[in-house]
Structure 1
Amino acid sequence: RLQEIYAAPIKEELIGQRIKEVRDSGVVTAAALSPQRTAQFSKAVVDAGVDIFVIRGTTVSAEHVSSSHEPLNLKQFIYELDVPVIVGGCATYTAALHLMRTGAAGVLVGFGGGAAHTTRNVLGIRVPMATAVADVAAARRDYMDESGGRYVHVIADGGVGWSGDLPKAIACGADAVMMGSPLARATDAPGKGHHWGMEAVNEELPRGKKVDLGTVGTIEEVLTGPSHTPDGSMNFFGALRRAMATTGYSELKEFQRVEVTVADSQHTR
C-alpha cells in the first residue's frame, strides 16, 4: 500500500509549500532529499528558504553513482550552496572522513537501525550504533587536526527509540540524534502512533514497514516531560540530564568523553 501511495510523481510546487508551512511555525527548518533526487529538486528546496539542507540515503559516499542519473559530486554541490549541508548515512571511519572532506556541516551515522527498518533482514546489513558513532567521532577528531580545527557535527541516526538511548549516543561521541519512533508516539504527531521510513516505499526493494507504536503523550511530554511511564518513552531531555548527573557531568562536551564499557549481553546494556 505504501508503495502505491508513493508511486505518484513528486509535485515540485508542493515542496516549497510544505517547507513554508514548517517555517511559518517559527522553527529551524531542514529538508531532506535522497542523492538520486538532489540535483532535480535542490533548487526548489533552497528557494523555499530552508535553514539546513539534508542529503540522506541508506548509505552515502562522497560521489553518488547511479545508472539512471548523473553522478552527484557532493563536494562541488556543497561548495556552491549557501546553507549548511548534512549528509549520511555512514557507519565507518573512512566513509565519514570522506564525507567530512566534502565540506558537510554534519554527518548522519547509521543505517537500517530504526524501528520501521528491515534493512538487516532484506540486505543483511546493520552496524551496531555504539561502534559506528564512536568510529565516526574518531574520524571527526582526526579531521579537525587535518583541517585546522573545522568541527563537523556527528548525528546518530537510528536506534534511538527510548530515552536511555540518547545519553548512550552522546557518550559515544554524538552531538545530536535523529528521533523517529519517540516523536511518532506523540499524540500530536500526524501519524497518530504509526511510523514508517522512506526505505519502506522503494518500488523495487522495500526495506521498511509501517509500524504501530501507539501514543504516550504530547510532544512536550515526550521531549521534556513529565513522564507518566517507567519505560523510557517520555522525558528524553530529563533522562539525559539525569544520566549526566549520575555519572558526574554537567557539560555535554565533557560527557562525550565519559568512560564507556561494553556489555556481553544486550540484557545488561
Structure 2
Amino acid sequence: MTQVEIGRGKNGRRAYALDEIGIVPSRRTRDPEEVSIAWQIDAYRFELPVVVSPMDSVVSPATAIEVGRLGGLAVLDLEGLWTRYDDPASLLAEVAELQGEAGTRRLQEIYSAPIKEELIGRRIAEIREAGVTTAVRLSPQRTVQYHKAVIDAGVDIFVIRGTTVSAEHVSGRAEPLNLKQFIYELDVPVIVGGCATYTAALHLMRTGAAGVLVGFGGGASHTTRTVLGVAVPMATAISDVAAARRDYMDESGGRYVHVIADGGMGTSGDIAKAIACGSDAVMVGSPLARAAEAPGRGFHWGSEAQHPELPRGKRVRFDTVGTLEQILHGPSSVADGSMNLMGALKRTMATAGYSDLKEFQRVEVVVAPQGS
C-alpha cells in the first residue's frame, strides 16, 4: 500500500480512478458470442450486469419495464416525482427547461411535495404487472416510514441508497435505522450503499445485505466532491470492497455478497474496468439518460440535486443517442463507448480470454493514465 506524504502532518494512500487503469489481454481470446455476462442476486437472474440508478431522469415505471425486458434491472426512486404526483409528465417537461440557480430553487420546490403512500403501491404494481423483477429505492431516513408499504406491494428487491450509508449511524436526535435488525426481518433481498472503504463495506455485509453499492452515487450529476470534499476514486474503492467481500466469505463460512459499482461510469470501457476491479454488476444513470425514452428528456439529475438544505448535484445536459435497446444492445453508430454497452463488455471479456463475469474479475490490470 503506497502512502504519499501530502505534507509533514498528513499522509494519504494513492488511489486510482477508472480512467487511470487499463485491462490487459491474455494469451487466449474467445468468440464474443460465447461469452456470458449474466449475473444472479438471490433468486433473481439477469442477462445483463446492469442496474439502472434510481433517478427520475432515467427511471420511470415505463423505462423500468423496458430495462427489465432487455435483461437488466431498473430501480425506481420512491422519493422522486413518481410517488409525489399522480402524473409528473408536465413537471418533467418543466425541469428540462430550468436554467441556472433559479433552476435549483425550482427543483427544490417541486420535490417539496409530500410522498403519497398510495402511489408507492401503485407504481410497484405497474412494474410487477409487466412481469419483470421489481426494485425500488428509499433513503435510510425514509426506510422506517415507508418500508411496510413497499413490502405489502410485493417488491422483489429493496435498495437502501444514500450518499453514504453506514451500519452504525450515530445520532442524538432520533433513533437511527438498525440495518441488521431491519434486513433480518424482511423477506426480500436488500442492497445497501454507498460506501467506498474496506471497513465500511465489511460492516454493511455483516448486516445481512445481499449486495453493497460502491461509490457515492450521482456520477456525472453529483457535486459531492465540490460541496462536501468527499471523494474516493472508483477503481480503488471497488477493489477495496471486493477485498471485503472475499474476507467476509471466509468469516461467514461462504456467504457471498454482491458488489455493485455505483456512479462514475459513463462509457462501456468504464463498465468493463469496474467489473475487472471486482464488481459483480454496475449501477449506471448517465449512459441511459441519453436514451430516447428517458423521462429527463435529455437532462440528467439525481436526488442530491434537490436536497432542501444543501444541494450537491446538478442537471447535466446530454444529447440523445438512441433507444434504450440500442444503448444496451446496439448496434452502435458512434465510436465513443456510449452505445452497445453490453456488446462492448462481451468483446472486452473475449479479448482478454474470459467466458463469464466471475472469471473476468481475475483479469490483469495496469496503471495506465489517459493518454499513456
What CA distance in whole angstroms lies between the structure 2 residues aligned with 1:10 and 1:113?
21
**What is the CA-CA distance between 1:70 and the residue it aligns to?**
2.2
- Of the three residues 289, 297, 322, the one matched with 1:184 is 289
State the identity %. 79
After superposition, the C-alpha distances for 1:229-263 in whole angstroms (9 at most, x for unaligned) are 10111001101011011111112111000011112
What CA distance in whole angstroms lies between the structure 1 residues aligned with 2:301 and 2:173?
26
2:248 corresponding residue in structure 1: 143
In the alignment, structure 1 residue 27 sits paired with structure 2 residue 132: yes
After superposition, the C-alpha distances for 1:97-120 in whole angstroms (9 at most, x for unaligned) are 000000000000001560100101
After superposition, the C-alpha distances for 1:206-232 in whole angstroms (9 at most, x for unaligned) are 010111112110100000100011011
Contact 1:112 1:118 in 2 (8 A): no
TM normalised by structure 1 equals: 0.96
Query: For the structure 1 residues 113 and 33, does the alpha-carbon distance in structure 2 shift closer, same or farther, using more than 3 Å as the test?
Result: closer
1:6 corresponding residue in structure 2: 111
Q: Which amino acid aligns with 2:371?
A: H
Instruction: Say which SS state the counterpart of residue 260 (structure 2) adopts.
Output: strand
In the alignment, structure 1 residue 266 sits paired with structure 2 residue 370: yes
Q: Alignment RMSD, CA only?
A: 1.2
Alignment of 1:89-238 (within 5 A): 89-111=194-216, 114-238=219-343
What CA distance in whole angstroms lies between the structure 1 residues aligned with 2:271 and 2:254?
26
**What is the CA-CA distance between 1:73 and the residue it aligns to?**
0.4
What CA distance in whole angstroms lies between the structure 2 residues aligned with 1:180 and 1:101?
28
Contact 2:218 2:302 in 1 (8 A): no
Contact 2:238 2:279 in 1 (8 A): yes
The one of the two structures with greater contact order (alpha-carbon pairs below 8 A, sep at least 6) is 2
After superposition, the C-alpha distances for 1:142-176 in whole angstroms (9 at most, x for unaligned) are 00000000000000001111111111011000000
Q: Which runs of 5+ in 1 are unaligned?
A: none
Alignment of 1:73-84 (within 5 A): 73-84=178-189
What CA distance in whole angstroms lies between the structure 2 residues aligned with 1:26 and 1:15?
18
What CA distance in whole angstroms lies between the structure 1 residues aligned with 2:260 and 2:316?
24
Instruction: Say which SS state the counterpart of residue 248 (structure 2) adopts.
Output: helix
Alignment of 1:3-82 (within 5 A): 3-66=108-171, 68-82=173-187
**What is the CA-CA distance between 1:183 and the residue it aligns to?**
1.1
- Following TM superposition, the consecutive aligned residue runs of length 4 or more in structure 1 with deviations greater than 6 angstroms are none
After superposition, the C-alpha distances for 1:84-134 in whole angstroms (9 at most, x for unaligned) are 000000000000000000000000000156010010111111111000000
**What is the CA-CA distance between 1:67 and the residue it aligns to?**
5.3
What CA distance in whole angstroms lies between the structure 2 residues aligned with 1:194 and 1:135?
32
What CA distance in whole angstroms lies between the structure 1 residues aligned with 2:306 and 2:245?
33
What CA distance in whole angstroms lies between the structure 2 residues aligned with 1:69 and 1:84?
26
Q: Which amino acid aligns with 1:57?
A: G
What CA distance in whole angstroms lies between the structure 1 residues aligned with 2:288 and 2:336?
15
**What is the CA-CA distance between 1:66 and the residue it aligns to?**
4.3
Higher alpha-carbon Rg: 2
Aligned residues: 267
Query: For the structure 1 residues 56 and 150, does the alpha-carbon distance in structure 2 shift closer, same or farther, using more than 3 Å as the test?
Result: same
**What is the CA-CA distance between 1:182 and the residue it aligns to?**
1.0
What CA distance in whole angstroms lies between the structure 1 residues aligned with 2:116 and 2:248?
39
Deviates more, 1:82-91 or 1:55-64: 55-64
Contact 1:78 1:104 in 2 (8 A): yes
Deviates more, 1:42-51 or 1:19-28: 19-28
Instruction: Say which SS state the counterpart of residue 267 (structure 1) adopts.
Output: coil
Q: Which amino acid aligns with 1:243?
A: T
Deviates more, 1:186-195 or 1:142-151: 186-195
Instruction: Say which SS state the counterpart of residue 63 (structure 1) adopts.
Output: coil
TM normalised by structure 2 equals: 0.70
Contact 2:218 2:304 in 1 (8 A): no
What CA distance in whole angstroms lies between the structure 2 residues aligned with 1:67 and 1:181?
37
What CA distance in whole angstroms lies between the structure 1 residues aligned with 2:324 and 2:236?
30
